[in-house]
């Protein structure tokens, strides 16, 4: 018998998203009526206002849509900030790990990975 976890009415979509990440699941929302995927988590689908958003596993695949390199003061190392277009359609801001900041270019394929940043679960990407 499958048990469904019932969340209290006060749980916000962003909190649910973090709970999924903490459990090792990269989940995004999808509207049952339109079939469109949504990110960042919200209560209603943008454009339509549909309240039928459900959580669904993200494939984790995507493509770098935009990138910038942040060059902090030494001795800190440069890092990248990317806008990734997920294979499902929405875009999300993150970073690409495991490669020098200046080596990330628009159009590269990436794969999501869940990690912890500042004691909070987060999605980062590695080159695919």
- Position 8 pLDDT exceeds 60: no
- In sequence order, the 6+-apart residues with CB closer than 8 A to the CB of 35 are none
Q: Are 53 and 43 in contact (CB under 8 A)?
A: yes
Q: What is the DSSP string of 92-113?
A: EEE-B-SS-GGG--TT-EEEEE
- Position 63 pLDDT exceeds 60: yes
- pLDDT single digits (tens) 71-121: 999 999 999 999 999 999 999 999 999 999 999 999 999 999 999 999 999
Domains and CATH numbers, the chain: 13-127 (2.40.50.840)
Average per-residue pLDDT for the chain = 93
Q: Are 49 and 69 in contact (CB under 8 A)?
A: no
């Amino acid at each position: 018998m499958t048990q469904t976890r019932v969340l209290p009415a006060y749980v916000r979509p962003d909190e649910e998203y973090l709970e999924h990440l903490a459990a090792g699941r990269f989940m995004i929302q999808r509207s049952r009526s339109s079939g469109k995927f949504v990110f960042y988590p919200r209560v209603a689908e943008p454009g339509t206002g549909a309240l039928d958003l459900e959580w669904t596993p993200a494939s984790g695949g995507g493509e770098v849509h935009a990138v910038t390199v942040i060059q902090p003061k030494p001795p800190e190392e440069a890092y990248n900030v990317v806008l990734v277009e997920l294979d499902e359609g929405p875009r999300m801001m993150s970073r690409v790990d495991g490669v020098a900041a200046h080596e990330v270019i628009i159009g590269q394929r990436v794969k999501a990975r869940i990690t912890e940043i500042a004691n909070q679960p987060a999605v980062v990407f590695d080159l695919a």
